[in-house]
Structure 1
Amino acid sequence: MDRRSLIKNAGIAGVLAAGVAPAVHAQATIRWRMTTSFPKSLDTLYGSAELFSRSLRAMSGGRFEVTVHAPGELVPALGVVDAVQNGTVEVGHTAPYYFIGKDDTFAFGTAVPFGLNSRQMTAWMTEGNGLKLMREFYAKYNIINFPAGNTGAQMAGWFRREIKSTQDLKGLKFRIAGFAGRIMERMGVVPQNIAPGEIYAALEKGTIDATEFVGPYDDLKLGFVKVAPFYYYPGFWEGSAQIDVFINQKAFDALSSEHKAMVEAAAAQAHVDLQARYDARNPGALKQLVSQGAKLRPFPQDMMNQAFKHAQAIYDETSSKNPAFRKVYEDMARFRADQNLWFRFTESTFDRFMQAQKL
């Protein structure tokens, strides 16, 4: 009997009994660990990591398992880069700008003051040079990144006292991450870098006078309105804020092409889902915060103008000292100029009109 007849007539059990192996080989189960910078209480940010994990499990039929770990379970919230770089974990989930202490170029992975909005950021990453340039940079840390979410434009945060001019910023202890801290420092602020899960206690005890985080939905869950009633906008340092999945380069290289495609697809799903969650939930949360005593305030115009000037000066200074930063910044700035020209005629005009209507 030939091999084809044997398979047809004997079925799989007979084939195996006859010692004729089928062409399909079962792949071994992959088990990775992911550490995130965000606490479990934030079902948006932490939930983005969980969605990434669920997607991989579903696409692989349960053969690609990524367990998600909150800050402190494996490494601290701000230990993500070291853990992924060293292979302590295979995957990290974080806001890259938390790590500008290592290199200022990390800031572009999340946001820079007066940078891109969320649509522009995604366009720069996927159709511009953003992803290419950031991967070149992360390669020095044995990391490959995948965009995995965006918060959209953020609020400026919660303040114990009202800010009427830049003079009111003098000596203010403000929890603020990334380049925004440097800008605010030049305006008299004392910036503080505090992990998300520790912010409320610091604000309640008076260790800090103000904090920025994301926006109404997360801020409502974190309860900041109870201890700092003045809620300012806009968060000019985060016209958008991207979250990344960081993967150890050696671990990623060891994957099959199918599993690499699954990783990319899972990150893309998380990327779309995160901003959709924020856009859907922030309006109702803002109403609740106002009902609980939040006092909405715009930043004074003189403060915005000064902040913009300080930002440009800082970018020039940093570019002169850091070639990697300069390379990414110059590309982003060119992309931003074209995007803002286009948005001025379409998105912005339409948005202003619609927001003026009483619907």
Structure 2
Amino acid sequence: MRKTVIGIIAGVVAGVVIGTTLVGPRLVLNPTPAPNAKQPPAAPAKEPVTAALPLAGTQLAGLAATRWRLAAAYNRSLPQVGELADRVETVLWRISGGGFELKAYPPGKLAPTDRILDAVAAGTVDAAFITPEALAARNTALQLFAGAPFGPSARARLAWTYFGGGRELANRMFNKLGVQALPCGALAPEAGGWFRAQVRTVEDLGGLRIRMGGLGARVMEKLGAIPKNLKAEDIFVALENGELDAVSFSMPAVDAQLKLNDMARFYYFPGWQRPATLFHLVINLDRWRALSAVRKAQLETVCGDAVRDALASSEAVQFAALKDLTAKGVVISRWPTEVMAALKAAWREVVSEENAQNPDFREVWEALTAFERDFDIWRELATY
């Protein structure tokens, strides 16, 4: 299965065959999910405080209530990604019996999105829900805690984060900035991107205006592309105005709900720029240290649950989204071998530059790749 070449027979759907690869007809058949297919549940509404205090009379009843404000980096309307902060708010409220409120506010409400970390560190905001990629301006090494081009899978990343020293290394760097970070959500691999024209050679990337951010954008620049880091709400307008030739955004289920297929037809895989995404709850360091052991355990438990729920639910819905996109005429292909090789080579250049310029980046990269090398031996032995 790992070596299966994915392509698409689009004779029924789009009327073309892409190169020599064939995307299985299984994507064309049954384009909608089966009637009993389970969909990710939306976060339920919080109960009133009076209905949420089953712990009165126990040892927890003596804890002072904690009321925090949470700055979310993603709009609630953004499928899957935008729901994560609300779910954390709701589940924390429930397991604490209403004693711990982490009220989520939309982007820009509590602090400008590009100053979220400053606001949390200063204590004007208690916490923020982000991917460390958003903090690259403070330290490029922080991006590696969220995901990295050609980096480890979610399975390997979580193993490194929780039991390979990744979490401790992250907080050594985050603590210097005045915050504590908890892994608090994970997502399936992204797609490689939407393109208005086919990508057959490396030369096709030259001059290509693509929506892409983070370390992936650095890689694209090496190959002559022109990356633009646009917000989700600005992408469609940029496509309509002819300001973009391609878009790299998220997973198929998210991309489909944003209707990116209305503006671009060619959809490439894999998402080399983000094989896994790890979100973090970033907390003012003084407030974190002042929390009781019980409150810390509640936060860590809820965030661990958020990792499980978000990763499992995001993996579960991608195939149905791909079938639906195929039925709408989207051409799904794997990157040409030549292009993937060039992207990997460009990524190695970016890593070399960052390692030379930023000791923190080098430290994180060496720790991550050393763990991944050992993990890959285990993975090969354990995989049939």
| TM class by smaller structure | 0.7 to 0.9
Evaluate the alpha carbon distance shift between residue 203 and residue 102 of structure 1 in structure 2; reply closer, same or farther with a 3 A threshold. farther
Q: Answer yes or no: is the 8 Å Cα contact 1:36–1:80 preserved in 2.
A: no
* CA drift at 1:24: 8.3
Measured on the aligned residues, the alpha-carbon RMSD in Å equals 1.8
* Pair 1:140-2:140 in alignment: no
Q: Which residue of 1 aligns with 2:239?
A: 203
* CA drift at 1:43: 4.0
| CA-to-aligned-CA distance 1:5-24 (integer Å, 9 cap, x gap) | xxxxxxxxxxxxxxxxx998
Amino acid in the other structure paired with 1:52: V
Q: Answer yes or no: is the 8 Å Cα contact 1:38–1:197 preserved in 2.
A: no
Q: How does 1:170-249 map to 2 (within 5 A)?
A: 170-249=206-285
Q: Answer yes or no: is the 8 Å Cα contact 1:37–1:76 preserved in 2.
A: no
Q: Which residue of 1 aligns with 2:346?
A: 310
Higher helix share: 1
CA distance in 1, matches of 2:218, 2:59: 60
CA distance in 1, matches of 2:247, 2:142: 21
* Pair 1:251-2:287 in alignment: yes
SS of 2:77's equivalent?
coil
CA distance in 2, matches of 1:312, 1:47: 34
Q: Answer yes or no: is the 8 Å Cα contact 2:192–2:267 preserved in 1.
A: yes
Q: How does 1:125-136 map to 2 (within 5 A)?
A: 125-136=161-172
* CA drift at 1:25: 6.5
Report which stretch shifted further, 69-78 or 325-334. Answer: 69-78
Evaluate the alpha carbon distance shift between residue 194 and residue 154 of structure 1 in structure 2; reply closer, same or farther with a 3 A threshold. same
Report which stretch shifted further, 321-330 or 42-51. Answer: 42-51
CA distance in 1, matches of 2:79, 2:274: 20
Amino acid in the other structure paired with 1:84: V
Task: Specify which of 332, 335, 348 is matched with residue 296 of structure 1.
Answer: 332
Task: Specify which of 24, 29, 42 is matched with residue 78 of structure 2.
Answer: 42
CA distance in 1, matches of 2:130, 2:233: 13
> How many residues were matched structurally?
327
| CA-to-aligned-CA distance 1:57-87 (integer Å, 9 cap, x gap) | 1121101111111223223444332222222
Larger radius of gyration: 1
Q: Which residue of 2 aligns with 1:6?
A: none
SS of 1:145's equivalent?
strand
* Pair 1:286-2:322 in alignment: yes
* Pair 1:122-2:158 in alignment: yes
Task: Specify which of 114, 117, 127 is matched with residue 91 of structure 1.
Answer: 127
Task: Specify which of 45, 50, 62 is matched with residue 26 of structure 1.
Answer: 62
Q: Answer yes or no: is the 8 Å Cα contact 1:44–1:278 preserved in 2.
A: yes
Q: How does 1:8-19 map to 2 (within 5 A)?
A: none
CA distance in 2, matches of 1:32, 1:163: 48
Q: Which residue of 2 aligns with 1:354?
A: none
Q: Answer yes or no: is the 8 Å Cα contact 1:98–1:177 preserved in 2.
A: no
